[in-house]
Structure 1
C-alpha cells in the first residue's frame, strides 16, 4: 500500500533571483563626484563665501599683576633658518670731534704786483677816509643820545683800550680832515684810472712828496707811470693836505 507521504503531492519553491553584480569602479567614481558636487552646492547656498567672513583676531586675556603669564606661540623658540646669509661688517669712520682746521691765510705782499690775500677785491680806505666814516658814526650817536635813544649814553664809542687807540691813530695821521679837502683828494685820484683801489688808498695815506718815494713805498706804480707823469699827481695831492690842523 502506498505511504501517506508519497500520496501527498510535493510542491517546490520558485528559485530566488541571482544578486545584482557589484557596481564597477567607474560607476562608484561618478556617484562620489555627484555627491561631492551636491554637497558643495548646498554649502555655498547656506553660508557666504569664506573670504567674506572677517577673520577672528587673536586676543590675549588681560594680564593680572603678580600672576605669571602663560607662554604663547610668540614666546616659543623658533627654529633658525637653515641657511642664513652672513653680512660682513661695514667699517664706518668715527665722527670728527676735533675742531676744524683753520683755513690757511693767503700771502700778502706789496711788491711789483700787489697780493692782498684775504682782502683781495675788498674796498680799502685811506686813513682820512676811515676817519671821516668814524666821525660820521660818532656824530649820529651824539644825536641819538640827545634824543634819549643812545645805547652808550653820552659816550660816542666804547671805552676799550683798542677802540681809543684806533680813534687816536686816525686823528694823528689823517691828512685830509676837512670834508672839502677829502673830496678834492678823491677827485685827483679819480682822474687817474690806472690806479687800483689799494694804490689809491696808499697814496692818500702816505702823502709822498716825490715820485721816487712813492715808487719805493708802492712798487706797483713803477710799471704804470713814469716819474714825469706821477710827480704832478703828488703835487696836486699836497695842495689839499691840512697838516696845520693836526
Structure 2
C-alpha cells in the first residue's frame, strides 16, 4: 500500500508523460489520491482524455518522438503553470527488433522518446524550477533492461542505460539549486505493452522474479512518491529498481517448484 503523506503533495504540480500507459496511470492515480495537481501527457488522445476526466486533471496530447511534440508539451506546461514541482518522465517505446534488422528510423524513434524527450523536458523544467526557486524533483522511468538486455531489445536497453547515466549527470548539475533527479526501474507489469501479452509470456516473466509475482498498482508509484517526498530529501543521482529482485541476477525456481531439478 502507498502511505498517506498527509498534505505534503497537496497542490503540488506534477507533470507525467506516458500517462495513459499502465505505470503512468497508476502513478497519476497515486498522486491524485495525495491531492496533487496533475498535467498528464500521452500520444494517445482517447485514453488520455478518459484518464484526465476520471482524475479531474489537465491533459496535453503530445507525440514525444518529434521535436514539435516535445515543444507542444513544454508550451502546455508553460501556459498552465510556468513550472512544475515534480516531473515524471514515464513515456517510452519498446519495439522488439533484432539489432541486425533495426533500421536507422527505428533507432532514432527509440532514442527520441526514451532519451532525447526526457532530457529536453528535464532541461526545461530544471531551468524553470531554478528560476522560480522551486526545490523540485525529476523522476526518470528506466528499466531492468539497462542492466540485462534481451536478444530483441538491444536498442531499447541502450536507451535506458543512457537514461540512467543522464539521470546521474542531471543530478550533478541540478543539485546546487536543491533539485533532485532520480530514476525508478519498475518491475514487469502485465498490460504495460500496447498489445495484450500472451499468458505463457507472463508466466515466463513471473518465473524469473525472485519474489514470485509481477508488479502491481502500488509498487512503482509507492517508490516514486517516496522519492519525491521530503523523506528522500538526501537521495539524488541514483536508480531504484522496484522489480521483485529480477535485476539482482539470474534466478531459477527451487528444485521441485516447476517439476524439475535445478
Q: Normalising by the residue count of structure 1, what TM-score does the alignment of the two structures yield?
A: 0.23
Identify, as 1 or 2, the structure richer in strand: 2
| Higher-Rg member (1/2) | 1
